């Protein structure tokens, strides 16, 4: 009996000890479960937020979000909200410099409210238009009017209360990038070319930040001023792609730009900032080749099949390895593996700050180690 009494305190101690361990373990399990529930709920909320914004875009605090003009019941409301009406007496048309889908494009002068005259390009809507054509014409102005960035073409205003209907934008002296490069083949240093690419990437980063997907990024849709500043332009394609059931292949303006378009966008019309990144890789190739046609004389169907089989454009002559590697990164088959525009801008900034990183050229590596050179296909 004395022995039993002597062991009683030890039993109580062990009982309390294991009870505490059990309670602590149970508490940990509950906490872990709550933690799992919290992150799962947070992830679910995040996924819901992503699907509620166009193209998966989540607004960044302090940065406005792009508003699609097609969401307005009355399209003229978007024109009034995002553009400025210009008195036509302030515009002087000088000469025709081109033609677009809707009418002529002219150069001219715009007298500002401060009486200063600035050079402008004037898009005019040809006579005999129907309401749909007028709406589509002004839609591009409603888009451009939301942008404010040095590497995006600037809208000065519109003329809608008299005829001809006009869209007035800043005048960019050197015209389209592809033509400009072909006219000046071999005239620029690699650093100058990288500077152009950096400007384009900066403009695309801005568009990505506000939730706008370009869908038709190509050297022909980029303008160059006298200081070699590149400005992204041509924002008229997206509506056709959304509304036209045949848009995977054609638009009212002609064929879809197969050579610049990401595989998922061609096959499934999945346009995103990632598909713009693919197009940016093609623009890089155009710049470094001084305006050569991507995939040369291959047919569109051959381009599609070749890309599906893993073919990627080889580096242009004189192209630094670092730039061709970035191109290949932009051409990853899996869109989630492509670089985002902030990363592209950061990478190009590093190259500009460290020009020696641009010295290794692709053809030098090919000569030194042809067996190890595998830049021409990309299976991932």
The answer on whether 123 is annotated among ligand-binding residues is yes
* 29 within 8 A of 36, measured Cβ to Cβ: no
Is the Cβ–Cβ distance between 295 and 259 less than 8 Å?
yes
Locate tokens 């381009």: which residue? Answer: 303
Query: Is residue 144 a contact partner of residue 64, using CB atoms and an 8 Å limit?
Result: no
Please say whether the dihedral angle defined by the alpha carbons of residues 263, 267, 269 and 270, taken in this order, is positive or negative.
negative
**Cα 230 to Cα 177: distance, rounded to the nearest angstrom:** 8
DSSP bridge partners of 320:
361
Interatomic CA distance for residues 85 and 94, integer angstroms:
21
Closest CA to 214 of 274, 284, 142, 145: 274
Residues in the chain, overall count = 380
Q: Strand (E) positions, the chain?
A: 91-99, 104-111, 117-124, 155-159, 166-170, 222-224, 230-232, 250-251, 254-255
Catalytic annotation present for 216: yes
Q: Phi then psi for 371, rounded to 5 degrees?
A: -70, -30
Rounded-to-integer distance, Cα 380 and Cα 374, Å: 13
State the catalytic residue, choosing from 216, 243, 349, 364.
Answer: 216
Q: Hey, which residues are catalytic here?
A: 216
Q: Residues at the annotated binding site for ATP?
A: 123
């Amino acid at each position: 009996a004395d022995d039993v009494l002597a062991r009683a305190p030890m039993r109580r101690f062990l009982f309390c000890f294991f009870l505490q361990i059990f309670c602590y373990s149970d508490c940990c399990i509950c906490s872990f479960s709550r933690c799992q529930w919290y992150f799962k709920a947070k992830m679910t909320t995040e996924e819901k937020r992503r699907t509620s914004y166009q193209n998966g875009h989540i607004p960044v605090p302090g940065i406005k979000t792009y508003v699609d003009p097609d969401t307005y019941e009355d399209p003229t409301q978007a024109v009034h909200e995002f553009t400025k009406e210009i008195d036509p007496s302030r515009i002087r048309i000088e000469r025709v410099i081109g033609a677009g889908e809707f009418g002529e494009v002219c150069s001219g002068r715009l007298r500002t409210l401060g009486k200063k005259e600035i050079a402008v390009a004037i898009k005019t809507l040809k006579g005999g238009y129907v309401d749909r054509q007028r709406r589509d014409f002004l839609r591009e102005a409603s888009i451009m009017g939301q942008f404010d960035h040095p590497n995006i073409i600037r809208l000065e205003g519109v003329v809608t209360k008299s005829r001809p209907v006009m869209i007035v934008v800043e005048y960019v002296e050197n015209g389209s990038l592809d033509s400009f490069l072909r006219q000046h083949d071999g005239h620029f240093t690699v650093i100058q070319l990288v500077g152009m690419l950096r400007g384009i990437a900066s403009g695309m980063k801005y568009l990505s930040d506000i939730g706008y997907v370009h869908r038709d990024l190509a050297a022909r849709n980029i303008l160059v001023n006298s200081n070699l500043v590149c400005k992204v332009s041509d924002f008229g394609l997206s509506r056709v792609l959304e509304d036209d059931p045949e848009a995977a292949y054609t638009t009212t303006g002609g064929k879809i730009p197969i050579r610049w378009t990401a595989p998922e966008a061609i096959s499934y019309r999945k346009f995103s900032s990632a598909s713009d990144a693919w197009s940016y890789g093609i623009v890089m190739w155009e710049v470094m080749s001084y305006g050569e046609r991507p995939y040369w004389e291959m047919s569109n169907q051959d381009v599609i099949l070749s890309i599906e089989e893993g073919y990627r454009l080889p580096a242009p002559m004189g192209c630094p390895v670092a730039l061709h590697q970035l191109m290949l990164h932009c051409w990853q088959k899996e869109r989630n593996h492509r670089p985002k525009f902030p990363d592209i801008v950061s990478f190009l900034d590093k190259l500009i700050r460290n020009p020696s990183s641009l010295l290794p050229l692709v053809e030098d590596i090919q000569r030194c180690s042809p067996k190890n050179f595998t830049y021409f296909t990309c299976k991932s």
